[in-house]
Amino acid sequence: MSPAVRILFLADSHLGFDLPIRPRVARRRRGHDFLANYAAALEPAKNGEVDLVVHGGDVFDRPGAIASLAFQAFQPLVEIAEAGIPVLVVPGNHERSELPHLRLARHPNIHVFDCPRTFVRTVRGVRLAMVGFPYHRRDVRSRFRSLIAETRWQEEEADLRLLCLHHCVEGATVGPGDYVFRGAPDVIRPGEVPPSFAAVLSGHIHRHQVLTRGLDGARLAAPVLYPGSLERTSLAEIGEPKGHLILTLDPSASPVVRWEFRALPARPMVRLEIAGAELLPADLDRAIRGAVAAGPEDAVLSIRVSGPLTAGHWAVMSSGHLRRYVPATMNVEVRPAGGLDRGALAGRRGGDRGVPNEAPAARSPATRGDSRRGGRRPGGRGALDPDQGPVDGRPLGAQAPGVLPRGAPRSPTGIATSPVSIGGPPENS
């Protein structure tokens, strides 16, 4: 028997993304891709390839998931637990630090970091201390040391300690502009991780990355591992590989922690900008049809049309019109670029603050901070929501699944424009 402990580490499954309960329109939902990748990510545990599973949070895309979705999320975990493999889950910000319908996940091998806690398990003769706390909304930076202390990790003897989180750590990067998280109140200083920890396992940052050095370039005592999200939740994740991590831990080896990233089949994202004002509606229609024809069959295609736009333009951008020819295998959304809806949206979103370090060219909607959340933060950081990245393709406010956002801006033709979409995630993401 190998002394090395193998851990499957996944995070940010965002189940429920584009999965309306009562869809108004029958079409391909990206939600099924998320469910499929969730199942695929858990395969190594179902195969018995690993000794332990850690989910780093944002199991669900939004708080208050319905019971049937919670069942879909938890049942595979229960089966893994049933096979004798411990499963640990860190509640993320998308479930508001609290997993719903936990009765469906009740099993002696399923452990939830519902508060700062230490779970100890002996696996392959290695006494593992799994230490963690749920997503902490207020100023985790200044609270970090006391949250760690509240886990009472020092009271447990262990051969190996792992810290399980759902947070930004200094030096993590996201988005097309490679935004770097630095000194904000929601960013943890890696130097404050106690030295006896072998690694930090964290969800929240949707781009897969492993931090081994601090912002000052000094080597970190423990690597910070982000498996990234299982599928792309926004255009900021365009081109990023998606998958999960397999960790190999051997207290007698050097290094103690090794990791392997395993990719999952993420749908190709394509982004296109069209200058609508220079085109007659018929030409715009042709341009959109051309983009659809050129895209990969399973593309998630996002088209931005710059204005000013006439009623004729709106008509060819409407979801009803798109539905006539967009293949069922694709998700396409066509939205006005930049300022057109800005006024209307700004009212709903509480302003629009950009990412500080991005070049103007990159400051498309795909790189804007999700001020829906940013605005609720104390002191409103106004930067990217790390796990979300940008607001793009996502709803602009809370709404019931399967309905357009309340008060969605309407075009002169009465077509809902927030967003004009077919196949995209906006209704229920």
Number of residues that bind Mn ion (CB under 5 A): 3
User: At closest approach, how far in Å is the CB of 226 from Mn ion?
Assistant: 11
User: At closest approach, how far in Å is the CB of 351 from Mn ion?
Assistant: 23
| 201 vs 309 by CB, closer to Mn ion | 201
User: At closest approach, how far in Å is the CB of 215 from Mn ion?
Assistant: 23
| 116 vs 203 by CB, closer to Mn ion | 203
Query: C-alpha distances in angstroms, 81 versus 48, 235, 352?
Result: 11, 35, 44
User: At closest approach, how far in Å is the CB of 14 from Mn ion?
Assistant: 6
| 341 vs 387 by CB, closer to Mn ion | 387
CA distance 93 to 381: 16
User: At closest approach, how far in Å is the CB of 166 from Mn ion?
Assistant: 8
Is 95 one of the binding residues for Mn ion (CB under 5 A)? Answer: no
Contact pattern for Mn ion over residues 328 through 367, marking x by CB under 5 A: ----------------------------------------
| 171 vs 389 by CB, closer to Mn ion | 389
| 231 vs 387 by CB, closer to Mn ion | 387
- Residue-by-residue DSSP string for 204-221: S--S-EEEEE-TTSPEEE
| 51 vs 58 by CB, closer to Mn ion | 58
Is 12 one of the binding residues for Mn ion (CB under 5 A)? Answer: yes
- Type of residue at 242: K
Query: C-alpha distances in angstroms, 351 versus 27, 234, 398?
Result: 32, 20, 16
DSSP-assigned beta bridge partners for residue 224: 200, 211
User: At closest approach, how far in Å is the CB of 7 from Mn ion?
Assistant: 20
| 12 vs 186 by CB, closer to Mn ion | 12
**Chosen residue from 18, 33, 51, 58 binding Mn ion by CB under 5 A:** 58
Region near Mn ion per CB under 5 A, out of 10-18, 280-288, 298-306, 309-317: 10-18
CA distance 168 to 170: 7
CA distance 288 to 326: 10
| 267 vs 313 by CB, closer to Mn ion | 267
> Contacts by 399-403 with C-beta closer than 8 Å and gap 24+?
401/19, 401/20, 401/21, 401/22, 401/427, 401/428, 402/20, 402/21, 402/22, 402/23, 402/24, 402/427, 402/428, 403/24, 403/427
User: At closest approach, how far in Å is the CB of 191 from Mn ion?
Assistant: 25
Tokens 């509640």 -> residue = 91
Is 61 one of the binding residues for Mn ion (CB under 5 A)? Answer: no
Contact pattern for Mn ion over residues 380 through 409, marking x by CB under 5 A: -------x----------------------
Structure token digits, residue 393:
């393709």
Structure token digits, residue 195:
């030295």
User: At closest approach, how far in Å is the CB of 174 from Mn ion?
Assistant: 11
CA distance 30 to 38: 13
Region near Mn ion per CB under 5 A, out of 5-13, 21-29, 112-120, 279-287: 5-13
Cβ neighbourhood burial of 32 (10 Å; 0-12, 13-18, 19+): exposed
Tell which positions 225-284 bind Mn ion, by CB under 5 A.
none
User: At closest approach, how far in Å is the CB of 193 from Mn ion?
Assistant: 21
User: At closest approach, how far in Å is the CB of 162 from Mn ion?
Assistant: 20
Q: Which residue is nearest to Mn ion (CB)?
A: 387
- Asked if 209 and 240 count as a contact pair (C-beta separation under 8 A), the reply is no
- Asked if 241 and 423 count as a contact pair (C-beta separation under 8 A), the reply is no
Structure token digits, residue 305:
């049309």
Region near Mn ion per CB under 5 A, out of 55-63, 66-74, 83-91, 403-411: 55-63
DSSP-assigned beta bridge partners for residue 271: 302
CA distance 193 to 145: 8
The residues near 212 (Cβ < 8 Å, ≥ 6 apart) are 219, 220, 223, 224
| 165 vs 322 by CB, closer to Mn ion | 165
Q: How many CB atoms lie within 10 A of CB 324?
A: 8
Interacting residue ranges for Mn ion, rule: CB under 5 A: 12, 58, 387
